[in-house]
Amino acid sequence: MDIIETKHDSYSVFKLTGRLDSNTSMGFEQQLFASIDSGARRLIIDFEGLDYISSAGLRVILKATKNLKTAQGKLVLCAMQDYVKEVFEISGFDSFLPIESSLEAAVTRL
């Protein structure tokens, strides 16, 4: 999986490409939390290029959501393929995580 982090003035975007599974989730967790630890509070994860997610990926996203809630930050997800979005819905994650259809909408939602 490729992870590209882009820092803007008031938020950061993580663009994921490939597969987020048990094999790749640890690298993603390290990069995401390095950003949070260095002070990032408003984050967007762009799923447009993501083909696959398993519960290992959900675990990292739940952990980041809890962490950012404590720090009074915000996490918005965007541009998921339909079947990836369904994993979030089946898991009930759509009840506490904003999921937008595009990056532009996610920036507005932050």
Partner 1 sequence: MTTISFELDTKLAALDVLCEQLEHFCAATGIPKKQKFEINLALDELFTNILSHGFRDARPHRIQISVSHAPRVVTIVIRDDGIPFNPLKAPAPELKCPFDDRKVGGLGIHLIRSYIDEMDYERCGRHNVLTLRKFLKN
- Residues lying near partner 1 in the complex (CB under 8 A) are found at 19, 21-23, 51-52, 54-56, 58-59, 62, 65-66, 69, 82-83, 87, 90-92, 95-96
Structure tokens at 36: 């949070």
Alpha-helical segments (H) within 1-110? 25-37, 55-70, 82-90, 103-109
Nearer to partner 1, 36 or 50 (CB): 50
Structure tokens at 69: 């809630």
List residues bridging with 14 in a β-sheet: 5, 45
Chain-centroid distance, C-alpha 2: 13
Q: What gap in Å lies between CA 20 and CA 37, rounded to an integer? A: 22
Nearer to partner 1, 7 or 66 (CB): 66
Q: Output the smallest distance, CB 6 to partner 1, in A.
A: 27
